[in-house]
Structure 1
Amino acid sequence: MEVINHTVINLITFVLAVYVGYHVVWNVTPALHTPLMAVTNAISAIVIVGAMLAVGLTVGAAGKFFGTLAVLLAAVNVFGGFLVTRRMLEMFKRKEPRRVESKGAAK
């Protein structure tokens, strides 16, 4: 006797993950956004390794296609995340004050 379908369990897990993820990200203080981005980049790198394993172990063409798509999307996520993290870190750098030259200064 099948109590609950596996698809329903997977759907419930996905919905709960989206809900918890949304509330975790929106309640992070601005000072922690850069470390949070670094961690998500590391998680996406792990997803790339898992997707490559899935592509290598899959027999069917559909599985290979979706595995390759997962590798591509995770790679875009990692590289985009690194670009965003770099831009965020540049915001914290001190800017040197501009030198103001006087117009009537003697040479």
Structure 2
Amino acid sequence: MARFVHDAALQFGPLGIRVNAVHPGNIDTPMLQNEAMYKIFRPDLTNPTREDAEPAFGFSHKLPVNTISPRDVSEAVLFLASDASRYITGQQLKVDAGALLADTTSGAPA
């Protein structure tokens, strides 16, 4: 995705078209909140519930949250669609509570 956004921003920039991407983390929606996902996040349990899976949703987050509100992602999209971001193009905006941050102190991926 990063290369696609980069190349599209280069191609469409001269036409005044901005290209950016929003990468959401574990968003509190039915796509995350369902039995199949509970089993993925808690394979150690036969029939995990939302309460069982909830702490695992935030395991990779660097901020102390388990899920992210859809509103928070919408606010990021709204910003990118607004005049306030008129000179922003070719960017990857991660709304993921830091889940994709690499841990450079240990040399290990996050």
TM range, smaller chain: 0.3 to 0.5
When you count helix as a share of all residues, which structure comes out higher? 1
Compare relative contact order (CA 8 Å, sep 6+) and give the higher one, 1 or 2: 2
Question: What's the TM-score once normalised by structure 1's chain length?
Answer: 0.35
| TM-score of the pair, normalised by structure 2 | 0.35
Structure that is richer in strand per residue: 2
Larger radius of gyration: 1
